[in-house]
Structure 1
Amino acid sequence: MSFSALIVSHGQPSDPEVGEAEIAALAADVARHLPEARIDGVTLAAEGRIEALSADRPGALVYPMFMADGWFTQSQLPKRLADGVGPQLVSFGMDCTLPMLAANWCRTVCTENSLDPYKTDLVVAGHGSGKSRRVSDATRRFAEQVADVVKPNSVRCGFVEEDPSLEDALSGLGTNAICLPFFAARRGHVLEDLPAAVAASGFEGIVLDPIGLHPDVPKLIADALRWRATTPDVSKCVF
């Protein structure tokens, strides 16, 4: 079954071409798992591009490369899509298969570093928001689901824009600790706020790449798109 899909991220308003290059590369990686489909990547930050691209992709599925469903995915994104485009899938950070991917990653990291997962402290670093609890709720739910599999000594969440802060969440831990950034890309907060919090807290554990950069993510997205393309009546699906 052939189909089209748009992978949409927020992008980088200060330098839209950076975000456009990142999402195009991700789309190309996803497309390798979907030879039957036409996959494009686009950002909201690049003025006029999502409008133009979606107008040329009637019926395309829309995959939000966001960590939670909120204002961008529920309000801005639908308004900027051309008529006839959709449906829109759940955001990347809320994909039901993501926690298992992260749990397996944490287990692998423990094995590679001779850590006992049951004695390891897990810190999930997220964005948070001063306006809505949607983002932090999604982060906490993700952290709980990962912890249910890994069974770490403890699990904490820390945020850029709400309490507990990243610094507080990273404080007081030894070398048997893993920080997993609940972000889609390596820029902004991951390059600035997270390293600053690690330094200020004296965190001595392992800081992983953002979950969105895990090498298995393109296949995860491809599986979600293929499933949605072949299951038009989701009301009959059991979740």
Structure 2
Amino acid sequence: MSARPRIAILTSHGQPSAPPPPEIHLAAVAAAVQDHLPGWDVRSATLSSKGFLEAAMREDGAVIYPFFMARGWFTGKVLPGRLSGWRYRMATPFGLDPALPDLTVAAIRAELARRGWQPEASEILLAAHGSARGPKAAEAAEAFAAKLRPALPGLRLVTGFVEQPPFIAEAARDCGPQTLCLPFFAQSGAHVRHDIPEALAEAGFQGDLLPVLGALPDVPRLIANAIERAQGDEMSPVDID
């Protein structure tokens, strides 16, 4: 008899006003992660699709992978609340993965080389979400920026936020034409498709907007590694209240 597959569930916020597109995108990411995890059953569900996460659980013991950039409101409050009554292991959120800075540095260096830009004459604008609910989202972005700077000597790196100061438009005003705006996001939701370009246009930004970090080619392998690490953690206790 073949061994029962271990279960991993990728979850993200999704888009309440239009749930299907983010759900489809997350399923594609899960399929790519599945290629790196033979013997696993890799599923996906956004929080915006009613009942999808609960349907994906079905049984105790799953590894939950938060495709989020920080350990904030949704990963710390909303997600555990939705999983109340189940036993599971929670992987490190995508944006806090210790391997993500190196992956990003390699991508930035490759992009600069492709354009023929010298690092000391170039800039990075890290465009992040921020949050009015608490400091965790901004802290995650600033900590990430602090890890990138020593690995990219001579390159100026600034941060800007969608929902809190310094806002992206403010941060972008001092950026030169040889600037790459890097969205500190897992998926290309409304903030990335609309809010960030609008803020850049408001600032008269002359640089280029890159894809989100979640679109980097090696991200499925990074997620797979995080899931395997989490498999060795203790499962969450059942909420009996």
TM-score by length of 1: 0.92
Partner of 2:118: 116
The residue matched to 1:111 in structure 2 has which SS?
A: helix
Identical-pair percentage: 36
Q: Does 2:160 correspond to 1:158? A: yes
Q: Does 2:44 correspond to 1:41? A: yes
C-alpha displacement at 1:15, in angstroms? 1.4
Partner of 1:23: 26
C-alpha displacement at 1:173, in angstroms? 2.1
- What CA deviation, in whole Å up to 9, does each residue of 1:133-181 have, x standing for no partner? 1101100111111122112432110001111110111112222211110
The one-letter amino acid paired with 1:8 is: T
CA RMSD of aligned residues (A): 1.7
The one-letter amino acid paired with 1:103 is: V
Alignment of 1:134-153 (within 5 A): 134-153=136-155
The one-letter amino acid paired with 1:60 is: A
What CA distance in whole angstroms lies between the structure 2 residues aligned with 1:105 and 1:115? 14
The one-letter amino acid paired with 2:136 is: R
Moved over 6 A (4+): none
C-alpha displacement at 1:221, in angstroms? 0.1
Paired residues of 1:8 and 1:41 also in contact (CA < 8 A): yes
Instruction: Give the length in aligned residue pairs.
Output: 232
Structure 1 unaligned runs (5+)? 235-239
The residue matched to 1:192 in structure 2 has which SS?
A: helix
The one-letter amino acid paired with 1:3 is: R
TM-score by length of 2: 0.91
The residue matched to 1:87 in structure 2 has which SS?
A: strand
The one-letter amino acid paired with 2:12 is: S
Paired residues of 2:149 and 2:155 also in contact (CA < 8 A): no
What CA distance in whole angstroms lies between the structure 2 residues aligned with 1:232 and 1:133? 27
C-alpha displacement at 1:222, in angstroms? 0.6
